[in-house]
Structure 1
Amino acid sequence: MRLQFILSEIGQGLRRNLSMTISVILVTFVSLTFVGSAALLQIQIGKMKDDWYDKVEVSVFLCPQNSSVPTCASGEVTADQRADIETALASPEIKPYVEHVYTETKDQAFKAFEKQFKDQAWTAAVTVDDMNSSFRIKLTDPQKYQLVSDVVSGRAGVEDVQDQQRLFDKLFSVLNHATLLAGGLAAVMLLAAVLLITTTIRLSALSRRRETGIMRLVGASTFFIQLPFMLEGAIAATVGALLAVGGLWLGVEYLVSDWLSESVNWIPYVDTADVLTVAPILIVIAILLATISSLVTLSRYTKV
């Protein structure tokens, strides 16, 4: 009997404030979509770091012809200069941090260049002589890049030293800023959701003040009186959270898995399993928002 009464009160409250309930659902949906997007973006960054940092190399580019770098003043790298660089890379101070060193010749660099830019018309003007030969160094710890750089930078025959991790870090920095932006927008939308839930519960409580007064007179507990109002907000917020989960699932399935991964297939992407991992968090956030908003509002507007 009590359950039937509570359900009827919830249905009555949702019907009386239908437009506000729909507003709560939509605002919760939008805000939690931003929250979920920020979470998925962080998962994406983590996957890329795990995959790419294991493949990070330090590239020591040797002098080509006609380089303007001071260390290349004598022209293209000589055999003696190359041998000096190899000796430096085998020195005791950095050898423990070097897992493997292999050489890329100008011919190999040119073939890789042609493969990467095969669809570009301007590549016809590039020749083998324009390429750099290089040493590709796999480190046991990518964080030790600076040790290698200090040893080989500035040596005759070395045009440039590049750490791939630094290039990746720039990309990850951009993605982290995008996460912060999504998080900021989510915070604003969550505040709007809290205000809407509060307003909805307040209107519902005011419209049924006579009923709650009668319930108080016949001995109903505060919790029993407030429960229908709390469930109204929780139901609306949960529906919004489920819509957010559905939207994220569709986005990942059709935009990421079906389209983006086909276009750029060398990046490990988030998948629908990651969405299902985030889903319980979004639902819990929605319920907590509704519960806290309801308790704050009902403590004032269900007093008789």
Structure 2
Amino acid sequence: MRLQFILSEIGIGLRRNLSMTISVILVTFVSLTFVGVAGLLQTQIGKMKDQWYDKVEVSVFLCPANSSATTCSSGEVTDAQKADIQAALDAPEVKPYIQKVYFETKQEAFASFQKQFAGQFWASAATVDDMNSSYRIKLTDPTKYQVVADVLSGRQGVEQVQDQRALFDKLFLVLDRATLLAGGLAAVMLLAAVLLITTTIRLSALSRRRETGIMRLVGASTVFIQLPFMLEGAIAATIGAALAVGALWLGVRYLVTDWLGSSVGWIPYVGTGDVMTVAPILVAVAILLAGVSSVVTLSRYTKV
């Protein structure tokens, strides 16, 4: 009997404040969509780092014949300078950080260049002498790049030490800023959702002040009186969360997996499984918003 009464009160409250309820659903939907986007962006960054950071190398470009670098003042790198560089890589303080070292000759660099830029008219003008021989170093820990760079930078015969990870860091920086933007928008929209839920519950409580007064007189508990109002906010917020999960699932399924995945297949994208991982968090946030809004509002407006 009590359950039937509570359900009927919830239905009455939702019907009386239908426009406000729809507003709560929409604002919650938009705000939690931004929260989900921020979470998925961080997951995407993690996937890309896991795949790319394990593959990146440190490239130590040696002096060609016509370099203007101060470390190349003696001209093209000599065999003695190469031996000195190799000895530095084999030093006890550096060796533990290095997993593998591969030496690429100028001829190999030229062949790779021609293959990479095949069909470009300007590539045909390049010659073997324009290429750098180089050491390609695979690190045991890509974050320890600076250890190798400090040892080799400024050494005679070394024109440039390049960390491939730095190229990816620029992309990750853009994604991190996009995450912050999505998070900021989510925070603003969540605040709007809290205010709307609070207003909806307040209007519902005021419209049924006479009923709550009667319930007080017949001995109804505070929890029993407040429960329908709390559930109204929770239901609206949960519907908004469900819509957000649905929108994220559709976006990932058709925009990321089907469209981007078929166009740029070498990037490890987030999938619908990642959306399902984020979904419980979004629902929990929605229920928490409704709960906090309900407690703050009902403590004041259900007193008689």
- Category of TM-score, reference length = shorter chain: over 0.9
Deviations 1:238-289 (A, max 9, x none): 0000011011111111111111122222221111111101100000000010
Q: Residue 33 in 1 paired to residue 38 in 2?
A: no
4+ residue runs over 6 A deviation: none
Deviates more, 1:118-127 or 1:164-173: 118-127
User: Residue 106 of structure 2 corresponds to which residue in structure 1?
Assistant: 106
Show the 5 A alignment for 1:125-204: 125-204=125-204
The one-letter code sitting in structure 2 at the alignment partner of 1:4 is Q
Shift in alpha-carbon separation, 1:85–1:295, aligned structure 2, 3 A: same
Question: Take 2:115 and 2:298, find their aligned partners in 1: how far apart are those partners?
Answer: 67
Residue type of the alignment partner of 1:52:
W
The more displaced of 38-47 and 112-121 is 112-121
Amino acid at match of 1:42: Q
| Partner of residue 217, structure 1 | 217
**Shift in Å at residue 207 of structure 1?**
1.0
In 2: Cα distance, 1:26 partner to 1:122 partner: 55
Query: Match of 2:237?
Result: 237
Deviations along 1:44-70, one digit per CA (max 9) or x if unpaired, are: 111122212211211101122322111
Report the alpha carbon displacement of residue 116 of structure 1 after superposing the two structures with TM.
Answer: 3.6
> How big is the shift at 1:296?
0.9
The equivalent of 2:254 in structure 1 is 254
Structure 2 counterpart SS, 1:61: strand
Distance 1:238 1:259 in 2: 30
Q: Partner of 1:55: helix, strand, or coil? A: coil
Q: CA deviation at 1:29?
A: 0.5
Aligned partner letter, 2:208: R
SS in 1 for 2:65: coil
CA 1:125–1:255: 2 relative to 1, 3 Å: farther
| In structure 1, distance between residues paired with 2:162 and 2:194 | 49
| Equivalent residue letter for 2:40 | L
CA distance in 2, matches of 1:120, 1:250: 40
Q: Which residue of 1 aligns with 2:93?
A: 93
CA distance in structure 1 between the aligned counterparts of 2:184 and 2:214, rounded to whole angstroms = 44
The one-letter code sitting in structure 2 at the alignment partner of 1:230 is M
2:292 paired with 1:288: no
SS at match of 1:102: strand
1:283-304 Cα deviation digits (max 9, x unpaired)? 0000010011011111111111
Gap runs ≥5 in structure 1: none
1:28-67 equivalences under 5 Å are 28-67=28-67
Q: Distance in 1 between matches of 2:74 and 2:258?
A: 53
Offset of residue 144 of structure 1:
2.7
Unaligned runs of 5+ in 2: none
**Is 1:11 aligned with 2:11?**
yes
More off after superposition, 158-167 vs 284-293? 158-167
The residue type equivalent to 1:39 in the other structure is: G
| One-letter amino acid of the structure 2 residue matched with residue 70 of structure 1 | T
Q: What is the CA-CA distance between 1:192 and the residue it aligns to? A: 0.2
For 1:14 and 1:197, locate their aligned partners in 2 and report how far apart those are by CA, in whole Å. 12
> Bigger shift: 113-122 or 285-294?
113-122
User: Once the two structures are superposed, what CA deviation does each residue of 1:198-247 show, in whole Å capped at 9, x if it has no partner?
Assistant: 00111111111111111212221111111111111000000000011011
Normalized against structure 2, the TM-score is what? 0.94
Measured after TM superposition, the shift of residue 122 of structure 1 is 4.1
Q: Aligned pair in 2 of structure 1 residues 246, 116: CA closer, same or farther (>3 Å)? A: farther
- For 1:201 and 1:118, the matched residues in 2 are separated by 67
Percent identity of paired positions between Structure 1 and Structure 2? 80
Shift of the 286–37 alpha-carbon distance from structure 1 to 2, 3 Å rule, reads same
Q: Which AA in structure 2 matches 1:292? A: V
Residue aligning to 2:24 = 24
Q: More displaced, 131-140 or 89-98? A: 89-98
Q: After superposition, what is the alpha-carbon deviation per residue over 1:127-164, rounded to whole angstroms, capped at 9, x for unaligned?
A: 43332221001112223322222222222221100112
Partner of 1:269: 269
**Normalised TM-score (structure 1):** 0.94
Q: What is the CA deviation profile of residues 25-53 of structure 1, one whole-angstrom value per residue up to 9, with x for unaligned ones?
A: 01001100111111111111111222122
Amino acid at match of 1:79: D
Q: Provide the C-alpha distance between the structure 2 equivalents of 1:288 and 1:150, rounded to a whole number of angstroms.
A: 50
- After superposition, the C-alpha distances for 1:101-138 in whole angstroms (9 at most, x for unaligned) are 00122333233334444465543443433322210011
Partner of 1:298: 298
**CA 1:254/1:127 → structure 2, altered by over 3 Å: closer, same or farther?**
farther
